[in-house]
């Protein structure tokens, strides 16, 4: 397949939320207490909610910027591409990158929206609903067929979370972002019956539990003084733990229609993981009393789990060991792992290297995403206008050149010291 003929749907991108997102959706009585985007004297923008301050870290929005500007330091909205927070510019960036559609994870509330958990349950629920309505009605609704809607959870109340899943499903939303380890956030684990109402709501509405790496607020870091390369390398490891936790849990057995996406977790590790779970079952099921109804754990995994990759050449090579119906492509715009705007070239190169047939490419690049997330972009965008080549022609005048946007040049040694200080504070807070 020529790369211009590919159709790309990304199941993992990110929003840098705009400052006016609560204006049209939060009840008037809560407006003054809503999170606010505040411009600092140093030129950075931070979200403030009560006593919590959430900076916009540079690695979260580096699309179209030189690598010298990568880092963890805070930044202002005027230092990042407008496509990070402006839906009209986002669609232009998507067109220029040859991307038909995108599913966008949240940023400042956290992947599990724990930030919105307050002592006032009505206020907390209103915040979640306001975010979800903004995301579904304004962000996704601005360009039908271009975005897969995703909802925040009411993670502090399983019954309310189930109700919210049902509410947004009526709006066409069939993806719920969630923590890969709710117990790490102080809530019951996946194994607790507390979550049963949520599992049932997900099954009843054909909604996917989209579990993103880092969504528990914890990353696998060997030591506080490790270089940042260690943290970046190990980011997918939490998702491996979540996959094992959920695969062996009663959830899979008691809710056979449950479906889970391991978002931004990569795919190359999965063949070994499946080999290991089958070996574990073979050697230990007699005393651990695991029973998958005559199936192997690897078979059950393929029935329930969606895996995602950016340019994982090993995963593409081993796609049939993983399950060709269980793999989706992701762009990760505007994060530092993203290949935007050159995804078609890099992805196409991987497909050519392993001589992947067109049928397999189509499944991984768009068909699986449509099926898993109950999403039909072609109801709004004719298929002949949805290819990489057609979208890029529509964006031929859109500037995608790499541009410096930072207000000041920060020496790498200063960036590293800032990272170490933040890591120490994070460890101290966890203790």
Our measurement of the distance from residue 188's CA atom to the centroid of its chain's CA atoms, rounded to an integer in Å, reads: 22
What is the model's pTM?
0.94
Average pLDDT over the chain reads: 92
At residue 233, the pLDDT reads 78
Residue of 63, 68, 51, 75 whose CA lies nearest to 14: 63
pLDDT 10s digits, 321-361: 999 999 999 999 999 889 999 999 999 999 999 999 999 99
If you average pLDDT over residues 51-78, what whole number do you get? 83
Mean pLDDT throughout 298-304?
A: 98
- Report pLDDT for 118: 96
Residues facing 74 on adjacent strands:
57
Number of structural domains the chain divides into: 1
In the prediction, which pLDDT does 426 show?
57
Of 97 and 225, more confident: 97
| Predicted pLDDT of residue 156 | 97
Burial (CB count <10 Å: 0-12, 13-18, 19+), residue 420: middle
Closest by Cα among 350, 335, 329 to 100: 329
Residue 32 has pLDDT above 60, yes or no: yes
Bond before 215 cis per omega within 30 degrees: no
Q: How far apart are CA 62 and CA 383, in angstroms?
A: 30
Where in the sequence is the domain holding 315, given as residue range(s)? 3-430
290 in Cβ contact with 236 (< 8 Å): no
pLDDT, tens digit, 9 for 90 and up, residues 105-127: 999 999 999 999 999 999 999 99
Q: pLDDT tens-digit profile of 123-137?
A: 999 999 999 999 999
Q: Which residue has the tokens 């004297």?
A: 41
Burial profile 337-355: b = 16 or more Cβ within 10 angstroms, e = fewer:
bbbbbebbeebbebbeeee
| pLDDT at res. 55 | 86
Q: By the 8 A CB rule, do 310 and 316 touch?
A: no
Higher pLDDT, 378 or 59: 378
The predicted structure's pLDDT at residue 226: 78
pLDDT tens per residue across span 270-292: 999 999 999 999 999 999 999 99
DSSP 307: E
The CATH number of residue 279's host domain is 3.20.20.140
> What pLDDT score was predicted for residue 82?
95
Give the confidence band of 43 by pLDDT, cuts at 50, 70, 90.
Answer: confident
pLDDT at 266: 93
Q: For residue 58, name the pLDDT band (cuts at 50, 70, 90).
A: low
Token pair 């290949």 in the structure block, residue: 339
d(CA 419, CA 70): 12
pLDDT over threshold 60, residue 180 = yes
332: left (phi over 0), alpha (psi -120 to 50) or beta: left
């Amino acid at each position: 397949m020529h790369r211009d003929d590919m159709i790309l749907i990304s199941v993992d991108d990110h929003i840098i939320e705009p400052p006016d997102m609560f204006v049209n959706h939060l009840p008037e009585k809560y407006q003054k207490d809503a999170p606010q985007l505040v411009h600092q004297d140093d030129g950075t923008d931070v979200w403030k909610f009560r006593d919590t301050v959430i900076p916009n870290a540079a690695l979260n929005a580096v699309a179209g910027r030189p690598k010298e500007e990568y880092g963890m330091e805070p930044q202002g909205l005027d230092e990042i591409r407008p496509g990070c927070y402006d839906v009209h510019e986002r669609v232009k960036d998507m067109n220029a990158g040859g991307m038909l559609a995108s599913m966008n994870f949240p940023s400042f509330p956290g992947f599990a929206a724990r930030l919105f958990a307050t002592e006032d349950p009505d206020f907390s629920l209103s915040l979640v609903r306001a975010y979800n309505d903004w995301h579904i009605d304004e962000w996704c609704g601005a360009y039908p067929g271009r975005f897969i809607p995703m909802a925040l959870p009411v993670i502090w109340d399983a019954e309310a979370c189930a109700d919210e899943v049902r509410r947004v499903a009526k709006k066409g939303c069939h993806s719920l972002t969630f923590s890969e380890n709710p117990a790490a956030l102080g809530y019951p684990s996946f194994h607790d019956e507390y979550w049963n109402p949520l599992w049932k709501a997900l099954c009843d509405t054909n909604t996917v539990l989209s579990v993103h790496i880092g969504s528990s607020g914890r990353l696998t870091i060997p030591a506080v003084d490790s270089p940042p390369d260690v943290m970046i390398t190990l980011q997918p490891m939490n998702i491996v733990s979540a996959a094992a936790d959920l695969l062996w849990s009663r959830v899979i057995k008691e809710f056979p229609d449950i479906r889970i996406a391991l978002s931004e977790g990569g795919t190359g590790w999965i063949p070994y993981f499946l080999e290991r779970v089958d070996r574990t079952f073979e050697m230990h099921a007699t005393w651990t009393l695991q029973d998958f109804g005559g199936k192997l754990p690897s078979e059950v995994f393929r029935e329930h789990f969606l895996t995602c990759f950016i340019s994982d050449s090993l995963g593409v090579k081993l796609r049939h060991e993983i399950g060709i119906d269980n793999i989706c492509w992701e762009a990760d715009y505007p994060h530092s792992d993203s290949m935007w705007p050159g995804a078609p070239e890099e992805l196409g190169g991987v497909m050519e290297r392993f001589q992947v047939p067109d049928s397999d490419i189509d499944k991984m690049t768009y068909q699986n995403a449509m099926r898993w997330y109950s999403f039909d972009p072609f109801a709004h965008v004719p298929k002949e206008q949805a290819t990489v080549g057609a979208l890029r022609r529509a964006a031929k005048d859109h500037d995608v050149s790499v541009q410096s946007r930072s207000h000041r040049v920060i020496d790498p040694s200063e960036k590293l010291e800032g990272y170490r200080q933040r890591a120490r504070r994070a460890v101290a807070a966890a203790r």
